[in-house]
Amino acid sequence: MRQATVERKTKETAITATVNLDGSGVYTVSTGIGFLDHMLEQLSRHSLIDLEVTGKGDTHIDFHHTVEDSGIVIGEAVSQALGDRAGIVRYGTAYIPFDETLTRVTLDCSNRPYTVWHVDFPTSKLGEMDTELFREWFQAFAQGAGLTLHVENLYGRNSHHIAESCFKGLARALRQALVVDPRQAQTVPSTKGVLGGSL
């Protein structure tokens, strides 16, 4: 089973994440940030990655550290669960509609972290969460997981719909990319024989 647990403790946060890449989308999430919890639940449910996240942070200051560190920890757990990434499809793409909103997420499990983020929100907050923090979460997750990640909101007017379509898009793209291809189950999907490092 492709599973991993990562724990991160700093003076700002204490976060633990456990993932099972071959799960069924079962989740238990508690970060202390309600809207982030809702998005991580969507990520688990639509990727079929079982996800357990517990976290506490200095939310009396703001949500930045908790949001960013949760992305790092979940991403690192995904990376550890992938191991050498042998056999995976590697690439994934999803177009996610949510009422008036359409978002495209494309990724490569390349072990070369890079994030392209073309998402604008019409409001500065969703509940108590600053919408600018979504970029921080995606960037931290891509860094931790070793993903080349492109997220583009093609159009939309509602901030909730835009955010949720981004997380669902990530989930569905991961669901494609992390599947083991039986034709290359023992082979790393790269002509170099290894994922990561220089081009």
pLDDT in tens, 145-194: 999 999 999 999 999 999 999 999 999 999 999 999 988 877 776 656 67
Q: How far is CA 193 from the centre of its chain?
A: 25
Q: What is the predicted pLDDT for the residue at 199?
A: 42
Q: What is the predicted pLDDT for the residue at 187?
A: 76
Give SS3 for 117: strand
197 pLDDT higher than 90 = no
86 pLDDT higher than 70 = yes
Report the CATH number of the 3-184 domain: 3.30.230.40
Tokens of 78: 């995904």
Collect all residues with Cβ–Cβ distance below 8 Å to 112 and sequence separation of at least 6: 146, 148, 195, 196, 197, 199
Q: What is the predicted pLDDT for the residue at 183?
A: 85
Domains of the chain, by residue range, sit at: 3-184
How many Å apart are CA 122 and CA 112, to the nearest integer?
31
Average of per-residue pLDDT across 128-146: 97
Give me the residues paired with residue 20 across strands: 3, 50
Average of per-residue pLDDT across 68-84: 97
Average pLDDT, the chain: 94
How many Å apart are CA 10 and CA 14, to the nearest integer?
6
Higher pLDDT, 53 or 181: 53
Q: What is the predicted pLDDT for the residue at 195?
A: 64
Q: Using 50, 70 and 90 to split pLDDT, how confident is the model at 198?
A: very low
102 pLDDT higher than 70 = yes
